[in-house]
Amino acid sequence: MTDARELVEQVARAWASMDGNADRFDACKADPSLDETEGRYIGYMADAEALMERSGITAQAEENRRLREALYDVVFEYDPSDTCQNAMSMRDIARAALSSGEGA
């Protein structure tokens, strides 16, 4: 499962690649002292993070994480003998869990 930092890094590396700087991005990631001089890794990371925040990708990724956790809780806490749960679809249960703050 990809976390937020990995998503930012994927976007940053793709951006560096589009600029023809993927090799320098990787080198700066591997060597922080080189990045202090060139700033390729930290620069692309900051730009990617800002882009993702402004575009709503960060918020959507967080919502997806919350939904995934809520669904996980529902699946592993589901009791088939509970008639109330049987009357609701899994989607409704997950939405109820999200709206009550479970899985957050």
Query: Please, are residues 21 and 28 in contact by the beta-carbon 8 Å criterion?
Result: no
Q: Are residues 46 and 69 in the same domain?
A: no
**Domain assignment of residue 26, given as a range:** 4-55
d(CA 13, CA 48): 9
| Total of domains in the chain | 2
d(CA 10, CA 92): 33
pLDDT the model gives residue 58: 87
The DSSP string of 66-97 is: HHHHHHHHHHHH--TT-HHHHHS-HHHHHHHH
pLDDT digit string, tens, across residues 78-99: 666 665 555 556 667 667 766 7
Residue 104 lies in a domain: no
pLDDT digit string, tens, across residues 39-75: 999 999 999 999 999 999 888 888 888 888 877 776 6
Residue 85 lies in a domain: yes
pTM: 0.66
pLDDT digit string, tens, across residues 14-41: 999 999 999 999 999 999 999 999 999 9
Half-sphere exposure of 96 (CA within 13 A, CB side): 10
Residue 75 lies in a domain: yes
User: How confident is residue 103, by pLDDT bands cut at 50, 70 and 90?
Assistant: very low
